[in-house]
Structure 1
């Protein structure tokens, strides 16, 4: 396993890589058509969930100094609600964005210093026990990714796909 410069990220590094693996495995064999289905008109569809996952990856990268912009941000930023009037990107387009940003964010996570992680990062939460800094924002992004992978996993089963297989790709280094 790669060793981060900051010991504060020793738990984040394996979580990030695990989420990258989960992202690919949970989407395995999901059709483009099924990725746009909603349950009883009440759920988000998989494309929205995947886009929100990517919005987290790009946001994490941006707070760490990466200037890459998520090309589909207008559909997903800040947990924007699903809008059935939008023509959302395809799963393939979103997977391509995932493979573009993920290695960059992973490298930044390995390189970031404690000093940079401790920098203030106002989120407007105003919760006494939650310092608003870069480290906690990264942690929030990791938590959101975990949640979204679980949501996609549930949708996968509801749509009649078999459960996610844990066939890790040892060659994916991010």
Structure 2
């Protein structure tokens, strides 16, 4: 992880960047060895499967990058844009497709996050009708959600009989 050498524009971002770097590598560890067939397995529940969780994480990073001026889209954007939930009977892209997009956007977003201005962080926007938040609050929420989703993928690993996620 590159956190030690990272310089940020606003000191509030330092600890968030440490978490961002951890999540960037933890997602790969969480996905390690999971087959595309198992990535769609919901184990007879209504829960979000690994493919949806992964695509949702990728979409979230692309959307945050867009909010910070990086105009890119993930390959499966149509399945995730506008906060779409999981769709029954849809074959989501392979985990490798999601990995490619994650690997593409993560360094670009990392740079944008480390250089985001205090003014931008303190700017309010409408998250959804009637809900206003600052960009700092949005980034904090997204970092929290990444940990949550990666944890869900780690749990799916164990439920499907894979060995536990490795953190190092």
- TM-score between both structures, scaled by the size of structure 2: 0.91
Contact conserved, 2:10 with 2:118, CA < 8 A, in 1? yes
Partner secondary structure for residue 141 of structure 1? helix
Kindly indicate whether residue 146 of structure 2 is the aligned counterpart of residue 165 of structure 1: no
1:36-75 paired onto structure 2 within 5 Å: 36-75=40-79
Quick one: which of 105, 118, 141 aligns to 1:114?
118
| Gapped regions of structure 1 (runs ≥ 5) | 168-174
1:18 alignment partner in structure 2: 22
Quick one: which of 53, 70, 85 aligns to 2:89?
85
Contact conserved, 2:154 with 2:164, CA < 8 A, in 1? yes
Deviations, residues 136-160 of structure 1 (Å, cap 9, x unaligned): 1111111111110011011000000
Taking only aligned residues, the RMSD between alpha carbons, in angstroms, comes to 1.5
1:95 alignment partner in structure 2: 99
Using the alignment, how far apart are the partners of 2:9 and 2:24 within structure 1?
21
Cα–Cα, structure 1 residues 18 and 125, in superposed 2: closer, same or farther, change >3 Å?
A: farther
Using the alignment, how far apart are the partners of 1:42 and 1:123 within structure 2?
27
Looking at secondary structure, tell me which structure has more helix per residue.
2
Contact conserved, 1:121 with 1:137, CA < 8 A, in 2? no
Comparing both chains, which one has the higher relative contact order based on Cα–Cα distances under 8 Å and sequence gaps of 6 or more? 1
Contact conserved, 1:6 with 1:114, CA < 8 A, in 2? yes
1:137 alignment partner in structure 2: 138
Question: What is the total number of aligned residue pairs between the two structures?
Answer: 164
Kindly indicate whether residue 150 of structure 2 is the aligned counterpart of residue 149 of structure 1: yes
Looking at secondary structure, tell me which structure has more strand per residue.
2
- TM-score between both structures, scaled by the size of structure 1: 0.88
Runs of 4+ in 1 over 3 A off after TM superposition: none
